Chains A and B, each alone.
Chain A
């Protein structure tokens, strides 16, 4: 940033990018800042740092400024603005955006411009949220590091040689690099929470069915869930209420009122709550510094008035295995739509080849390794002779996991765990070892299997590498407000202990 100056107390532009979404919205509503000023400050930040971070695949400069001007015009006309009007946002490139490229991190959709908006996109625009652009992601949301993007990896703003997590690494990195105060992610096995943990930000996977999947490119339909990413718990809550709620365009959307998550975030407390710690979320593979910070977070919860209860959820040990059968199975079916006929890439159509051959050549050219691996794995798991042993058994595991959660939530109000077993790992370290990569989602996957709600928020830096550690909070389905109530209390206590938000300890870019 070059254009900063202090002029007797007026806001300097370098400060705009450090404001929370709630603060930006208040300043836009009062006229202290215009939406255009806020948008320009973030576009300038993107221009200054995104070459290094690579959080964005597409920056929609003109579109963002037009949306910002519209917000300013509405305010000038005396209209009362919504709670996030004029706040910029980074949108994961898995949501369709009318007239703006949508690639899902894949070559097979390179240059595709959707003719319609996803429901999430539409709700953001209607709320006056300014969409800065589309963020980098693992191809079709398959991955735990954003290294599977066909357009190159994203760097973790804490250490650019390390991964920001995946698949929503671009969204979380944009927050941590102060390129946007808000972002949207999707979580199939942890793709909102895991990057949030690795970048020191907040990410929420709402209850399955809580946020519409219409216009969100499908990976594993029974697991995929869009949700908010932010730098504070309150900002995540404000965004949650903008995007959540029933959508007649999505048959899996829950037709029930959205829990009052903003109210919960404004009234953080754990006093009198029972908090569960699951035995299965520990043991081999957990980094010492992660365990240390998690244990301190549990102590903090006790100090804040919660009762900690030890729980046994034996089926969680099988969750990762079941996930890596169910998700590839559903993806092999969902990705059949990429057939080179109606949209996207087409390769080998020279007038002599059949449609079938052109489809096969196009998919070979357009899909990356991880996508091919999962399509083949899914085809195998669903094939005759193996179906019962693999896919069928995985669905039984899913029932057992759901029962474990039900039993647990009879005893406790929320469950806590580390979000990830380790901190951010170096780019390339796990690239050729799929099983090692899959372990990154060990603690997040059970929640996707059962469909309940979970949040990750920062709980400190691991002493051995100085990188962020995430605390996961899990709540029963439709009790998303509990995440925010507990999360806000933990966040406030930690910020008081540290003297500032954790992200302020990140090196400057």
Chain B
């Protein structure tokens, strides 16, 4: 199994939306390498004809009647927002300027 490089950790951090510091990249690369090395044993069963279990319960879609019910008020829903404006969540720009 290939080792996890600093560059790979940087790429994963970008995918996971984590702006890691340089020293964190170094630190995590070493630790993740150890962890992956230790847990890679699961691949011993990879070629076995065993169905995967994603969940201990058989999951079924749970539906409810489509009726109007009381819910959080706009003020309650916005109560934890870092920024709000005109009863809406205010977010930083999503599209670039150009």
Tell whether A and B belong to one assembly: yes
Binding site for B on A (CB under 8 A): 112-116, 208-209, 222, 248, 251-252, 254, 318, 320-322, 324-325, 332, 336, 339-346, 349, 351, 353-361, 363-364, 367, 372-373, 375-377, 379-380, 383, 388-390, 392-400, 402, 434-435, 449-451, 477
Q: How far is the CB of A244 from chain B (nearest CB, A)?
A: 15
Known: A252-B57, A340-B82, A399-B50. Is A390-B35 also a contact (CB below 8 A)?
no
Q: Is the Cβ of B38 less than 8 Å from the Cβ of A359?
A: no
State the 9 A-B residue pairs at the shortest beta-carbon distance, nearest first: A451-B56, A395-B52, A343-B80, A346-B82, A115-B76, A321-B39, A360-B19, A398-B53, A393-B42
Closest to A477 in B: B56
Q: Is the Cβ of B77 less than 8 Å from the Cβ of A115?
A: yes
Q: Which of A113, A355, A375 is the one whose CB lies under 8 Å from B94?
A: A355
Q: Which residues in window 1-34 of B have CB below 8 A to A? A: 4, 8-9, 12-21, 24, 28, 31-32, 34
Q: Give me 7 other A-B pairs in contact (C-beta within 8 A), A115-B79, A390-B36 excluded.
A: A251-B59, A360-B19, A373-B35, A395-B52, A396-B46, A396-B50, A399-B53
Q: Which of A344, A345, A399 is the one whose CB lies under 8 Å from B52?
A: A399
Interface centre among B20, B57, B83, B89 (most CB of A within 10 A): B57
Q: Which of B34, B64, B89 is the one whose CB lies under 8 Å from A434?
A: B34
Q: Is the Cβ of A375 less than 8 Å from the Cβ of B18?
A: yes
**26 sample A-B contacts, Cβ–Cβ < 8 Å, listed by A number:** A113-B79, A113-B80, A321-B42, A343-B80, A344-B80, A346-B83, A354-B93, A355-B92, A355-B94, A360-B17, A360-B19, A363-B19, A364-B19, A377-B32, A377-B35, A380-B8, A390-B36, A390-B39, A393-B42, A393-B44, A393-B45, A396-B52, A400-B50, A434-B35, A435-B35, A451-B57
Total A-B pairs in contact (CB under 8 Å)?
179
Q: How far is the CB of A222 from chain B (nearest CB, A)?
A: 5
- The yes or no answer to B86 lying at the interface (CB within 8 A) is no
Q: Is the Cβ of B32 less than 8 Å from the Cβ of A254?
A: no
Q: How far is the CB of B70 from chain A (nearest CB, A)?
A: 12
Q: Is the Cβ of A341 less than 8 Å from the Cβ of B91?
A: yes
Q: Which of B17, B38, B57, B79 is the one whose CB lies under 8 Å from A339?
A: B17
Query: Interface size bucket, B side?
Result: 35 or more
| Residues of chain B within 8 A of A342, CB atoms compared | 80-81, 89
Closest to A367 in B: B18
1/0 per residue, CB under 8 A from A, across B52-96: the answer is: 111111010110100000001000110111110000010111101
Q: How far is the CB of A386 from chain B (nearest CB, A)?
A: 9
| Residues of chain A within 8 A of B13, CB atoms compared | 376
Q: Is the Cβ of B72 less than 8 Å from the Cβ of A325?
A: no
| Residues of chain A within 8 A of B61, CB atoms compared | 251
Q: Which of B18, B24, B54, B77 is the one whose CB lies under 8 Å from A395?
A: B54
| Residues of chain A within 8 A of B89, CB atoms compared | 341-342
| Residues of chain A within 8 A of B14, CB atoms compared | 360
Q: Which of B28, B83, B94 is the one whose CB lies under 8 Å from A372?
A: B28
